[in-house]
Amino acid sequence: MLLFDALNKGERPLRLLAWGVLSGLLVLAFGLWRIQVLNGPRYKERQLVQNFRSVRVPAVRGRILDREGHVLADSRPRYRLDLYLDELAVPFATEHARLRRELALARGAQAGPPPGLWTRLVNRLRRTKTAPLISPAENEQLRLAARFGVVSNLMAAAGARLGTNLIRTNSDLYRQFDRHWRNQRYLPFPILENLTTEQVAIVTEQGWNYPGLEMEQAPIRTYPEGRTAAHILGHLRRDNTAEPDEPDYNYYLPDYRGYKGLEFSFDDKLRGQAGAKSILVNSGGYRVGERILVESMPGNNLITTLDLRLQQECERSLDLVSGDEKGAVVVMDCRNGDILALASAPTFDPNSFIPSLSTAEAARMTNQILRPMLNRAADEIYAPGSTFKVFTALALMDAGVELDDNFEVKVDPSRSPRGAYWLGNRKIEDTAPAGIYDFNRAFIKSSNSYFIDHAQRLGMKRFLDFGHRFGFGESTHLKVTRDEAGIFPQYGETLQNGQTYDVRNKGALADVSIGQQIAVTPLQMAIAYCAVANGGTLYWPRIVERVEPGDVLSDRNPDQVLPGQIRSRLGLKPEHLTRVHAAMRDDVADDAGSGKGARVEGFAVCGKTGTAEIKSAGRKDNVTWFASFGPFEQPHYVVIVMVQSGRSGGGTCAPVARRIYQYLHDRDLGLRMASSSPAPTPVGGGL
C-alpha cells in the first residue's frame, strides 16, 4: 500500500520512482506468465523428449604371454581425436545465418544489417506479411551445409596442425558426418582414429583453440613381436555384438572378437566383461550428461607353453629355405606334451587387422598360392613319406617279423643303379641303390623295397591297428587349430578313391608302409614322435599353461591346465625302441645317412628324412620332411620340419632342424653352466 500512497502524493521524484518499480513488477509478472503459461507446454514437451541412450563399453582384453612371461599379445592405449558436436551450436548458428544472408542477397533482398528489435516489433504489430525468400526445405539444406562447413573447416585446420590430412574426400566425409548426425548425434564424431606419439604430444603440450575437439583414450590390441607365432595367436576382427546374456544397447563402442588361434579359442576369457554407461540426450539429439552404469572388468591373461626365443629361431630357420617354399615347424617337449614352438610359413602380421585390413593386405591374405593365413603345422594334411617308416619298423618288431635277414633290393633297369620293388605287375621305385640290406642299412638309406616287402609279411589289419595306437587319423583336441584328423583308414574301410583297405589290397599296404596314400599334420607327427622318444607314452598336446585374472587386485586363483595329460600308454617294448633310436641316431651321425644335414656337435640328434610325391593341378610336387628328437641319451625335444616343394628331406629340412637343435644345445649348455658356476664372493664388509 505504500506504493499506492506514494502515487497519490504530489512529490514528482517519488511518483516517478514508484511508477518505475511498478513497471518492473509488471514486466516480471509478464515474463513469469510467458514462461509458465504461454510456453509451459513447450518446455514440458522438451522434458518429455529427453531420453537416455545406453552405450556398451568394451573391456580391456587380456594379455597372452609365453612360458617365461614375454608378451605375445597385449592391449595398449590408443588415442583418438573426437569432435563433440554439442559444443558447436554457436558456430553452427553463426554459419547458418551467414548462408541465409548470402542466399537472400543473391535473390535480390536489400543488403545491409538485419533489422533490429524495434523494427521487428513494429512489423509484427502492423501484421506486415511478406513472401518468404527462403522456403523451409531450403532453410534445412542451409543448416546441413552450415554444419558440414564448420566441421570440415575445423578438421582441415586441425589436420594442418597435426601434420596430416584428416579429409580424404569431401563426399566420404559428408556421408560419414550425415550418418553420424542423424543417428548418433549424442556421441562424439571421430576425427582421427590412431594418433602418433608426436600428435599426442602436440595435443597435450600445445593445447587446442578449436571448440569441441577432445583427445580420448581407448585400449587397442597389439602384437609386439609382429608376425611371430601369428598362426597360433590368431587375430581379431571388428565385432560389436553383445553376449547372449547382455541387454540390447543403443550404441556399441568399437570392440573386437578373436578369429582363429588362441584369440578365438579363449575369446570368452580374454574379452572380460563389458561395462555400460548412460547418456542423457535432449530433444535436439545432443548429449546433456552421462554416467557410468557398470564398470568394465578386464579380461584374463593366458600364459602359454610357447618359448618366444625358440619360436623366433624356428621361424628364422624356416625363412632360410630358398625360394617360395611353404612349410611348418613343430617343437614339443616329449616328456609332457608341451608345445614349445609352432611355426608356419608364409605368415602374416596380426597387427594388420587392427583397426581394419587394408586393401593391399587383404589381397595378400587371400592369395590362393601362398595362403599365408593357413596354419600348415596343424590345419593342413600331408603325406608323411619315409618318416612313417619309424612306425612301420616298430609295427614289424611288435608283430615279431624277422628284421635281421639280408634282403636284396633289385636294380631298376630304367634307373640304374637305383633299385625297385615289383608287386605283381606294378613297379614301385626305390630311392636306395640296389644291393643287400639289413634293417639298419635299409633304415638310413630309406629303402622302400625293404619296408614294403616286410610289411607284406605283417598284413594290413595288424599294420593299421598299430598305426591307430599313435593317434593317426584322429583329432589332437588342440583347441587353437582347426584340428585336422588326417587320413589313416580303418581296416576294411573304403576311401573316396575307391580303395578298400583289407587283406586283399597288397598295393595299398605297400603304399601305407612307406608313408603314401595317408596324410597327417606336422603336429600329429610331432605327438607320435614324442611317444617314440619318451618310451611309449602318448600325450595330449598342451599349449596353454594357465589362465590368470587380468585384474592384479583379484583374489581368484589361476586356472591351471595340468601338464602331462596322458592319452594312452602304448606298451612298446624297450628293446624295440632302443633299436629304432639307434637307427635314427645313425641316420644323422653316419656319413651315409640321409639326415646327416641335421648333425650338431655335442648333441646327438635322432632323425628320419622323408619325401612324398604328390600330384596337384596336373603337376607333380614334393612334400619333404625331417622328423626327429634329441638328445639320444635323454630325449627332451621333438622337432618336426616340413617343407612343400623342397628338394629332399635331407637337403631341405635337415638343415632347418640343425639350426633349431644348435640353438637348443647352446641355450641348455649356457643354462647348465650358469647354474653350476659358484656364487660370487662378496666384496667388502657387511652386517
Q: Cis ω on the peptide bond leading into residue 41 (within 30° of 0)?
A: no
- pLDDT value of position 684: 43
Query: Best-predicted range by mean pLDDT among 37-51, 280-294, 523-537?
Result: 523-537
CB 480 within 8 A of CB 267: no
* Judgement on whether residues 252 and 329 belong to the same structural domain of the protein: no
Task: Calculate mean pLDDT across residues 148-155.
Answer: 87
Shared-domain flag, residues 296 and 332: no
**Residues 620, 328: Cα–Cα separation, whole Å:** 20
Of 246, 274, 304, the residue that ends a domain is: 304
Is 683 a domain residue?
no
Residue 255 near residue 240 (C-beta atoms within 8 A): yes
* pLDDT greater than 70 at residue 614: yes
pLDDT for 2 beyond 90 = no
Looking up cell 604430444 gives 201
> Contact 488/467 with Cβ under 8 angstroms?
yes
Higher pLDDT, 128 or 431: 431
Domain residues for 259? 52-108+135-304
DSSP string for 350-402? GGGGSS---HHHHHHHT-TTT-TT--TTTS--B--GGGGHHHHHHHHHHTT--
Report the distance separating Cα 378 and Cα 515, nearest Å: 18
Question: What SS3 class is residue 488?
Answer: coil
Q: Is the pLDDT of residue 140 over 80?
A: yes
- Tell me, yes or no, whether 252 and 330 share the same domain: no
Q: Between these two residues, 322 and 170, which has the higher pLDDT value?
A: 170
Are 419 and 410 spatial neighbours (Cβ–Cβ below 8 Å)? yes
Please report whether residue 42 resides in a domain. no
Question: At residue 261, does pLDDT exceed 80?
Answer: yes
Task: Supply 646's cell numbers.
Answer: 623342397
Does the pLDDT value for residue 687 go beyond 50?
no
Mean pLDDT of 372-386: 94
Report the CATH number at residue 411. Answer: 3.40.710.10
Pairing of strands 537-539, 435-437: unpaired
Q: Does residue 415 lie in a domain region?
A: yes
End residue of a domain, out of 278, 304, 330:
304
Residues 568, 529, single domain; the answer is yes
| Structural domain contains residue 130 | no
Query: Domain for residue 337, yes or no?
Result: yes
Cell of 469: 595306437
Phi then psi for residue 535, to 5 deg, are 105, 5
Tell me what the pLDDT averaged over the chain comes to.
Answer: 85
CA 22/CA 15 separation, integer angstroms: 11
pLDDT value of position 597: 95
Shared domain check, 570 and 471: yes
Q: Rounded CA gap, 455 and 467, in Å?
A: 13
Q: What are phi and psi of 104, to 5 degrees?
A: -65, -40
pLDDT confidence of residue 426:
92
Share of the chain above pLDDT 70, in %: 85
Whether residue 401 sits in one domain with residue 255: no
**Domain check: are 528 and 385 in the same one?**
yes
Predicted pLDDT of residue 85:
80
* pLDDT for the residue 685: 37
* Element containing residue 89 per DSSP (H, E): helix 89-106
Assign 383 a pLDDT band (cuts: 50, 70, 90).
Answer: very high
Quick one: how far is CA 645 from the chain centroid? 28
Q: Is 645 left (phi over 0), alpha (psi -120 to 50) or beta?
A: left
Same structural domain, 572 and 620 = yes
pLDDT confidence of 111, banded at 50, 70, 90? very low
Could you give the C-alpha distances from 416 to 419, 434, 466, in angstroms and in order? Answer: 7, 8, 35
Q: What is the tally of structural domains in the chain?
A: 2
Position 117 scores a pLDDT of 60
Mean pLDDT of 109-114: 52
With 70 as the cut, is the pLDDT of residue 8 above it? no
Residues 263 and 322 in one domain: no
In a domain, 661, yes or no: yes
Residue 108 has a pLDDT of 64
Mean pLDDT for 409-431 is 92
In-domain check, residue 129: no
Q: Where is average pLDDT lowest: 283-287, 350-354, 628-632?
A: 283-287
The pLDDT of residue 292 is above 80: no
Among 248, 279, 304, residue at a domain's last position:
304
Question: What sign results for the dihedral spanned by CA atoms 540, 545, 549, 551?
Answer: negative
pLDDT band at 132 (very low <50, low <70, confident <90, very high): low
Q: Is residue 601 part of a domain?
A: yes
pLDDT at 516 over 50: yes
* 617: CB partners within 8 A, 6+ apart: none
Give the CATH number for residue 193. 3.90.1310.10
Q: Evaluate whether 385 touches 610 at the Cβ level (below 8 Å).
A: yes
Above 90 in pLDDT, residue 110? no
Phi, psi of 405 (to 5 degrees): -75, 155
Considering the domain architecture, whether residues 381 and 430 belong to the same structural domain is answered as: yes
- Sequence-distant (6+) residues with CB within 8 A of 148 are 173, 174, 177, 178
* Residues 224, 343 within the same domain: no
Q: Are residues 287 and 382 in the same domain?
A: no
Distance CA 94, CA 7 (A): 47
CA 71 to chain centre: 14
Cβ-count burial 263-277 (b if 16+ within 10 Å, e if not): bbbbbebbbbebbbb
**pLDDT tens digits along 208-233:** 667 777 777 778 899 999 999 999 99
